[in-house]
Each structure stands twice: as C-alpha cells, then as structure tokens.
Amino acid sequence: MDYKQSGVDIDAGNEVVRRIRSLARRTFTSGVLSDIGSFGGLFRLGSEMADPVLVASADGVGTKLKVAFMTGIHRTIGADLVNHCVNDILVQGAQPLFFLDYLATGRLDPDVAVQIIEGVAEACRENGCALLGGETAEMPGFYADGEYDVAGFIVGAVERSKLIDGRTIVPGDALIGIPSSGLHTNGYSLARRIAFDVAGLRADTHVPALGQTIGQALLATHRSYLTLVRPLLAAGAIKGMAHITGGGITENLPRVLPEGVHAAVNPAAWQVPAIFAWLQATAGVPDDDMRRTFNMGIGLVLVVDRDRADWVLGQLRAAGEPGIVVVGAIEPGGGGVVYAG
C-alpha cells in the first residue's frame, strides 16, 4: 500500500498549489517578500506609520459551507472568509496587510479548491490585502466525501493614536447602521433547519418572497465595509464600530461600549430584508432569538458623535449607501442593548 491508496493524493495537492500560485501572486503588495510555497510567509512593515499596532483575527464560514456543498457553488465561500476577517479588524481601525487561508478536506478536488481560492484571492485584491500563504490538508476518513472546512487568518495595522477602542463613547452618541448583504456567515444552523427541514425546500427551490432560489439567498456574499468606512476613519469621525456577526446586535454591540452606558436600539428604524422575515415567518422564531442569531439586515454599526451624525450619514449616502440609518443612541446604563421603539 502507498500513501495515495490510503486516501492522500500528493499529486493533487501539488496541482492545487500550481494553479493557485498565480492567483496569490496577483494579490501581492509591496510588503510581500516571499513566494507561495515557502515554509513561512514574509511581510515587511512599511514606514507609513510612526507607531503601528498590529491587529489580528481568525475566523471561519461555519455551516454556510453546507449550502455550498448542496449547490456546488464554492467561489463565494472564499470571499466570505476574507471579508469577514477584514471587517473584524476594521472595527478597531486597522487596514489589512496580509491573509492566510486553511482548507481541509477528506479527498482533495483540485477544481473545488481552486474555486475557493479564486474567491479568496479576488476578495484580497479588493481589500488591498496580500494572500501571503496557506495550507491545504487532505484528511481521509475525517471529512465526508465532497465536504471541507475553511479558516482564515488576517493581520492588519493601525496607527496607535488612531486605534478605535470605544473609550470616548458617551451618552448621546448616535448609532448608525450599515446594511448587510444577507445572513453573511452567521446563523446558518438555524437557517438551514428552517429552509430544508421545516419548509422542505431544495437548494434550487425558487422562493417567491425572496425573488430567487433559497440557495442563492443563503449564499449571498458577506460584504466588506473597508472601502466604505476608510474615509470616515481618515476624518476621525468614528468612536466605535461593531461587526454584527454571530450573536447579532444583541451580543456584538456591547463589545465596544465602555462602562456606564448601554445601547438603545430601535428595530423599527430599518427595513428588515426579506430573507429574515421569511425565515421568522416560516418557523415562528421569536424576536429575541432572531436578534441573537442573525444580523437582521445591519452588518456594521458605527458609534459617532451626535453632532457629526448628519455629516457621517451624508458621506455614506453619497458613497452609494441609501439604506444607511440611525438605529439608536448611547444612553447611561449598565451595558448591553435595550430594544425600544
């Protein structure tokens, strides 16, 4: 018996590396000092910042992968992975420098792997982030045939004096919500249960209320907010930011608040997208569960001085975001989120 007979195809792995090398090279920035295939990726920090602080994060896509397996569409998964990680460091004011990816599967399918990395590379280019390296692991007997898992690791930098940490947030500050593009990468265990078990749909079933198939609705790409928010960071207009991921506004917004305040959020301030309304109506999910599971149409919340709120709203709307709204305000309190209105 040889290694291939045990389920690991080294030649397939080499083929994947060969095909993704050019994809990764297209993302390289001036700071990259190594090529794909090195044991470790090399990146040189520039001299643009006087006192740079590195900001790092790691994440995955969760059970959204199950929808990709059902549809055979894998390219958006790579973009989901990058954009989620970009947003996680953006909330502290960081600009992305480089990204690493990890792909594990039972049997390596080069075509599927390349689809995923194409999405990773495209999102890296759009965010000005170098795809510095990664790992592809073939693990027979560990994953079911046709299934895989992915994870991403990102490093960015921010000038220490411009770090966004919420310390200056005070009562009266405005909460501005920026729309999501759908579920992003959270709540899929519940969403899949509702769509495929409760409603009995297939991934290619067209849902009139959504105007598309359920598979298309659930695979909507997790958007990046970097380009939209970058000018506001340069203007010093943001006191705090929360990326609304698992736990929704309920769990994520308090993570950026100082002691002595809470966030008063008005759920009626924005139009909840059809996908969330459909999921709730189909399975009778309580409001509290919806708000702690899904982003409910708000993917990023900014905390800004109330005197600058109108200016921030104008800048965002001028950038092509008509759905930007004030979703609430900071009030004296003991932490957490209070829903009212």
Tell me how many domains the chain contains. 2
pLDDT band at residue 7 using 50, 70 and 90 as cut-offs: low
Distance of CA 29 to the CA centre of its chain: 22
Q: Are the CB atoms for 203 and 214 separated by under 8 Å?
A: yes
Q: Indicate the SS3 state at residue 213.
A: strand
Which two tokens mark 272? Answer: 């909840």
Q: Are residues 120 and 24 in the same domain?
A: yes
pLDDT band at residue 3 using 50, 70 and 90 as cut-offs: low
Q: Are the CB atoms for 204 and 213 separated by under 8 Å?
A: yes
Whether the per-residue pLDDT at 43 is higher than 80: the answer is: yes
What digits encode the pLDDT tens for the residues 244-271?
Answer: 999 999 999 999 999 999 999 999 999 9
Pick left, alpha or beta for residue 236 (phi over 0 → left; psi -120 to 50 → alpha; otherwise beta).
Answer: left
Q: Are residues 21 and 45 in the same domain?
A: yes
Per-residue pLDDT, 307: 96
Q: Flag whether 20 is in a domain.
A: yes
Taken in order 83, 161, 320, 188, the sign of the CA dihedral is positive
Q: Flag whether 167 is in a domain.
A: no
Edge-to-edge strand order for the sheet containing 95-105? Answer: 52-60, 148-159, 95-105, 130-138
165-189: average pLDDT: 97
Q: Indicate the SS3 state at residue 1.
A: coil
Q: Which residue has the higher pLDDT, 132 or 47?
A: 132
Per-residue pLDDT, 246: 93
What digits encode the pLDDT tens for the residues 21-42?
Answer: 999 999 999 999 999 888 999 9
Per-residue pLDDT, 291: 97
Per-residue pLDDT, 341: 67
Last residue of a domain, one of 162, 189, 223: 162
Q: Are residues 188 and 157 in the same domain?
A: no
Residue 119's Cβ-side half-sphere holds a number of Cα atoms within 13 Å equal to 25
b/e for 87-125, b at 16 or more Cβ within 10 A?
A: bbbbbbbbbbbbbbbbbbbbbbbbebbbbbbbbbbbbbb
Per-residue pLDDT, 11: 73
Q: Are residues 179 and 152 in the same domain?
A: no
What digits encode the pLDDT tens for the residues 323-332?
Answer: 899 999 999 9
Per-residue pLDDT, 322: 85
Cα-flanking dihedrals φ and ψ of residue 210, to 5°?
-105, -20
Q: Are the CB atoms for 138 and 188 separated by under 8 Å?
A: no
Q: Which residue has the higher pLDDT, 5 or 309?
A: 309
For residue 137, what is the domain's CATH number? 3.30.1330.10
Count of beta carbons in the 10 Å neighbourhood of residue 32: 20
Which structural domain, as residue segments, surrounds residue 331?
A: 174-339
Strands (E), 141-245: 148-159, 174-179, 206-207, 212-213, 240-243
Q: Flag whether 43 is in a domain.
A: yes
Question: For residues 119 and 268, what is the distance between their CA atoms, to the nearest angstrom?
Answer: 35
Q: Which residue has the higher pLDDT, 18 or 276?
A: 276
Per-residue pLDDT, 18: 83
What digits encode the pLDDT tens for the residues 210-229?
Answer: 999 999 999 999 999 999 99
Q: Flag whether 2 is in a domain.
A: no
151-178: average pLDDT: 97
Q: Indicate the SS3 state at residue 82.
A: helix
pLDDT band at residue 48 using 50, 70 and 90 as cut-offs: confident
Question: For residues 52 and 298, what is the distance between their CA atoms, to the nearest angstrom?
Answer: 30
Q: Are residues 220 and 316 in the same domain?
A: yes
Question: For residues 54 and 156, what is the distance between their CA atoms, to the nearest angstrom?
Answer: 6
Per-residue pLDDT, 335: 92
High-pLDDT (> 90) share of the chain, %: 88
Q: Are the CB atoms for 247 and 328 separated by under 8 Å?
A: no
Q: Flag whether 271 is in a domain.
A: yes
